[in-house]
Structure 1
């Protein structure tokens, strides 16, 4: 099938090039606009209890969640000085008149908004806009926020956080693109030693990215997509587009070196390397499909964007690139670059007419490994497991402003808030409680009072804010008497509290923990409240920052096992069809898992514990962002399988030629080792460019992918795979009811004899060496 596809491409090459050119030209105006339709949020599961609690409070109590926090800090004055209050009022004067503001709550209204050292206070500005459109109002808000001489202001809160995510993501993407393209071209020049051959993969990768971004722009109008789609699309588009083109161009040059015409060389390239590219793209797509099983929109949309760009990268490699190769032909080696070259495998003719065979590095390495398979297998296996052991101490959390660089407003406000205020006061545990009938009846006041007392008795609770705990001096009888005529309440604080926290049969209770939002004791407190029946026909939903954090992690790792199972089983079936073996797909899955687990350990050591944080330029989180391991697994599983497919495809070809498993492994590694290493270097370079990102989530993804590919291309492919295949022997190629597959498919009749010269010996280890491939 792939051979005939190659023939068809050579026949209609100008039509194919023209169609891709039209697609790229049409896509160019829309690709830069993709970020405009993407959203910065998407970290909340719509099925989470915390989200239901928030929705209920917003519906019943009109709880305003679109809040901009403004912190005022003073050097000359404390909050208790009249000048401090005067200047804050002056700063807020224009905002109070702005129609977009629903309410402003100052520290004068709520003294708990004053810092511990009384030198700072924050103000909550509630906007009428919904959270999605609120970031667009920020420039107008900041323009109306007047500067005052003696106070410094910090602006933060949800809308600012989401706006900063958007701007930092776009900034990271521009930096990564500026670094990745030149570095990729330099790496390709070292591989091919030809300017023409080096430029082709970047053209193919660039086309895939441009068209994919334009399609994402259109898709973003139909369904909500996360801003992180931009980074994953470019990372996969460049990495895989260049990778696939690298394998195709290498095989094309190899076939030309065998004396074939350019049309036949293109057809055989598509039939061999193109077949591997198609199955490789399928395995990468399967890995990304795992992300679409997630309820978290950020992961689901990243999966959709990744699948889109991988499909386009495969299509470009199987159609656009062969069409261009048909036009270029032997000019693929034009504009050569003189660079030092390591000795590659080849032959040397001696004076007596005999031919002396020189094997390359990869062949010699595989022979050493297969001579001592157990001595290689066990230490490498233990080393990779050791790299992954730190993951046993992982602590997961949801993202907050700490994932952003320190130069953006929301991170600066977050730092001041964390350093100078009581974190528990700013992020309370919210309870949405519903009663039988109106809350303000005497019976429900009594039930509510005893329920709040039970919560207050928990040693982890600092305080409970509710209508029945507003004043610790009041008894139950006094509360019942007070609320028997709520319209007569004269105290402004109690009146405001009742108005904002009670409506019909719904009441809001705020529980202040003694510990921080991500502290295990605060999380245990949330679980205790959730597992405690309030009784008397009352029901409660628990929300707030700590509860949202718990729900975010639980949602991810409830969905992840199903995604993992689907990805593993589907990949097994695809590889079973490709390699016609029961054992090889299972071995490939286990090998990939080892390199991924090693990268997981690096996540903990670097981002949770802070190793190398000064060199990498970030502040240690003290936790691992919960979506990172899932993103890495679904991305790396397919990407690592990419190299496994290319390696085993060449081993399979050699086994069909020789029928000798040990020789096939050596020949397959020799024929593919250099080019796979070159491809891995390019992916490492592209991933490392994304590791320069200021946003820690993107930095972790880029760094994790780079580390995993380094381990995969060296320890796994160079040592573990040949050792394992040597130990398994002919069992590698066994199928039920068929036995060991020793005969090639029908493609052999096309490959058996070049058009222009006598075929080389099928057992010759140099017959399929890529030109310039042995590095």
Structure 2
């Protein structure tokens, strides 16, 4: 099928190129606008208890989550000084009467909004629109916030956080693109030593990215997509587009060196490298497809965007690139770039040059001579790399994932450093009672339930209608709420209005410990697992509960995603390699490189190793979605190289029937080009590791580290060692035995006499003729 596709691409080359140019021209107006339809949030699970709790409170009590915080700080005044309150009120004057504002809660209304040193206080501004819409109103809000001489105002809160995510993500993307394109092109010039050959992979990657972004713009009007789709699209579009083209172009040049006509060279290229590219793209898509199993929209949408760009990268590699190669022919080597100090030949021209003396050939034979001595030390080394992951601490993302210079991060740091963080992140309980919450029976049951919570040693305070005044007894609360309209105390009256509606009421529990402290997490679990009784039900929300639900939601879905990815990948590789054991070996090898990157994730982002060099503040935890993003991304990307390596080994085995010789020849023939491809992916990933957003930085750095490990320790040492230990069992399939030479490939894969390869002078002469564009 792929051989016929190559023939088709040759015959209809101008039509294929024209269609791709048309697609790019149509996509160009929409690709730059993709960010306009993407959303900054998407970290919540709609099925979690915390989300149900906040939905209940919003519906019944009109609790508003869209809050902008303005923090006033002064070096001269305390909040008790009249100048502090006068100037803060003057600063807020034009905001209080703004139609987009639902309510303004000052520190004068709630004394707990004052810092511990009394030189700062914050004001909560409840916005009417949702967080994403409110983010677009921030410029107007900042314009209305008047400057005053003695107070410094810092703006933070949810809408500011979402706006900062949007702007930082876009800046990260622009920086990564500016770095990745030139570095990838330079790497390609070193690989091919020809301007034309180097331009082809960059061209195909660019086409894939542009068309993908335009399709994301269209898809964003149909379903919610996360802003992080932009980063994954560019990262995979560039990385895989260049990778796949690299394999195709190098194989085309190799086939020209073998003396094939241009048409045959294109057909064989598509039938061999194109086939491997397609199956490789399928394995990468399977990994990204695992992200669609998650209820968290950020992961779900990143999976959709990733699959889209991978499909386009594969399509461009097996249609557009063969068409371009058939047009260029031997001119693919035109405009040579000379590097006098480099003694090696360009990739694609030295595949058969002295195969028995190549580095990868010698290395593979050395490894296969001592397979056990290589296998166990390397295995232990990789496991030791992953060992730090045993101490991982997961958490949901907050403003600490952003750089310190953005407004929401600056406001977050102020709250953490100067305010009692326990007061700003209480445990919220949506309590549902049988019938009216203010009946004497319900008041009694609530009173004793709150007393039980207050008795917990981890609890600092409980704010509720039955604990509003510690001097009141149960009888007094029952009497007070028997006629709520007659309550004279303004504080209790306002508290009752804000926290009770019909059969629903809000209870706030303040822990003695921080939001992500294990004691606070255990307290939330205790509240959830302790039934109030008497027909009362409770839904728990708040920062700690949301954190627990976020992590639980991710790692409830993760095993299902891993299982589906592994089984589907195994089946695809089983069909590709016609072997029972090779797919299993490939999956295990991939898992080891991913495990090593997980260890680095903990060392760097949780413990802060190299944080000054990498330019971020250590989190003290690992953002919970990062390992999942890494697994689904790296699994497919690492499998990419495994597929190309095993494809060349399989070809050599079909030609020789000797497992050991096939491993050596396959590694020698693919070693240079896979290393070059890995270097380019490492360069592109490292460019994304310069991001200010820690989520993107972790993904770029994790992918770069995993590819480094995969391209060296795994591919160079573990793969030949395991294939030597398995022997001919590598190629065994039940009911079929050992598969040597499938008839479908016989017409263009001839036998190889491994003891009588073409001589080095003949190869060098062929290389010289092709390289200068001469006739064969």
TM-score (norm. length: structure 1): 0.96
User: Displacement, 1:357?
Assistant: 6.9
SS at 1:630 equivalent: helix
Determine if the alignment matches structure 1 residue 220 to structure 2 residue 224.
no
Q: Which residue of 1 aligns with 2:292?
A: 292
Q: Gaps (5+ residues) in structure 1? A: 347-354, 753-758
Corresponding residue for 1:378? 376
Partner of residue 202, structure 1: 202
Within 5 A, what are the aligned runs for 1:65-144? 65-144=65-144
1:401 is aligned to 2:399 = yes
8 A Cα contact 1:345 1:360, kept in partner: no
What is the CA-CA distance between 1:492 and the residue it aligns to? Answer: 1.6
Of stretches 392-401 and 740-749 in structure 1, the one that deviates more from structure 2 is 740-749
The DSSP-based 3-state class of the residue aligned with 1:148 is coil
1:487 maps to which residue? 485
Q: Structure 1 residues 599 and 356 mapped into 2: Cα distance closer, same or farther (>3 Å)?
A: closer
Q: Structure 1 residues 356, 281: CA separation in 2 closer, same or farther (over 3 Å shift)?
A: closer
Which deviations, in whole Å up to 9, do the C-alpha atoms of 1:159-212 show, x marking residues without a partner? 000000000000000000000000000000010000110011000000000000
- Alignment of 1:152 with 2:165, yes or no, is no
- Between the aligned partners of 1:128 and 1:724, the Cα distance in structure 2 is 62
- CA-CA distance at 1:617 after TM superposition: 0.2
Pairwise CA distance, 1:763: 5.8
* 1:213-612 pair list within 5 angstroms: 213-339=213-339, 340-343=341-344, 359-612=357-610
The DSSP-based 3-state class of the residue aligned with 2:123 is strand
Q: Residue 689 of structure 2 contacts residue 701 of structure 2 at CA under 8 Å; is this kept in 1? A: yes
Q: 1:646 aligns with which of 644, 647, 650?
A: 644
Aligned partners of 1:92, 1:303: CA distance in 2, in Å? 43
What's the counterpart of residue 664 of structure 1? 662
**Displacement, 1:486?**
1.2
Q: Following the alignment from structure 1 to structure 2, what is the Cα–Cα distance between the partners of residues 370 and 702?
A: 34
1:358 CA drift (Å): 5.3
Following TM superposition, by how much is the alpha carbon of 1:342 offset from its aligned partner in structure 2, in angstroms? 4.3
CA distance in 1 between counterparts of 2:560 and 2:74 reads 53
Deviation readout 1:349-407 (Å, 9 max, x if unpaired): xxxxxx98752111011111111111110100000000001000000000000000011
Q: Which residue of 2 aligns with 1:615?
A: 613
8 Å Cα contact 2:248-2:273 kept in structure 1: yes
1:771 offset after TM fit, Å?
A: 7.4
Q: Does 1:166 align with 2:166?
A: yes
| Residues 254 and 771 in structure 1, CA contact (< 8 A), matched pair in contact too | no
RMSD: 1.6
The structural deviation recorded for 1:343 is 4.7
1:475: Cα distance to partner? 1.3
- State how far apart, in whole Å, the 1-side matches of 2:126 and 2:294 are: 32
Match 1:719 to one of 717, 720, 742: 717
SS of residue paired to 1:159: helix
CA distance in 2, matches of 1:700, 1:693: 9
Q: Distance in 1 between matches of 2:740 and 2:345?
A: 28
Give the equivalent residue in structure 2 for 1:629: 627
Instruction: Work out the CA distance in 1 between the residues paired with 2:708 and 2:752.
Output: 35
Contact 1:600 1:629 survives alignment (8 Å):
yes
1:677 aligns with 2:678: no
Q: What is the CA-CA distance between 1:745 and the residue it aligns to?
A: 3.4
Alpha-carbon distance in 2 for matches of 1:476, 1:615: 60
C-alpha distance in 1 between matches for 2:767 and 2:110: 74
TM-score by length of 2: 0.96
Q: Secondary structure at the match of 1:405?
A: coil
**Aligned equivalent of 2:772:** none
Unaligned 5+ segments in structure 2 are 348-352, 769-776
SS at match of 1:99: coil
Q: Which residue of 2 aligns with 1:735?
A: 733
Shift of 1:326: 0.7
- Higher mean displacement: 738-747 or 323-332: 738-747
Contact 2:399–2:409 under 8 Å retained in 1 = yes
Separation (CA, whole Å) in 2 of partners of 1:356 and 1:608: 48
- Offset from partner CA, 1:404-423 (integer Å, 9 cap, x none): 00110000000000000111
Runs of 4+ in 1 over 6 A off after TM superposition: 766-772
> Which of 357-366 and 648-657 deviates more?
357-366
Distance 1:3 1:597, change over 3 A: same
1:482 deviates by 1.4
Q: Shift of the alpha carbon at 1:484?
A: 1.6
String of CA shifts for 1:419-473, please: whole Å, max 9, x gaps.
0011111111000001111011111111111111100000000100111111111
- Shift in Å at residue 746 of structure 1? 2.1
Q: Distance in 2 between matches of 1:434 and 1:652?
A: 65
Structure 2 vs 1, CA of residues 629 and 771 (structure 1 numbering), >3 Å: closer, same or farther? Answer: farther
1:50 has 2:59 as partner: no
Measured after TM superposition, the shift of residue 131 of structure 1 is 2.0
Quick one: distance in 2 between partners of 1:475 and 1:170?
A: 57
Corresponding residue to 2:690 among 670, 689, 692? 692
Kindly tell me: are residues 215 and 73 of structure 1, through their superposed partners in 2, closer, same or farther at Cα, counting changes over 3 Å? same
DSSP 3-state at the match of 1:649: helix
Q: Which residue of 2 aligns with 1:351?
A: none
Distance, in Å, in 1 between the alignment partners of 2:479 and 2:508 is 23
2: CA distance, partners of 1:457 / 1:719: 60
Given that 1:280 and 1:642 are in contact with CA atoms closer than 8 Å, whether structure 2 keeps it comes out as yes
Q: Secondary structure at the match of 2:225?
A: coil
Q: Distance in 2 between matches of 1:356 and 1:203?
A: 32
Structure 1 position 762, deviation (Å): 6.2
SS at match of 1:746: helix
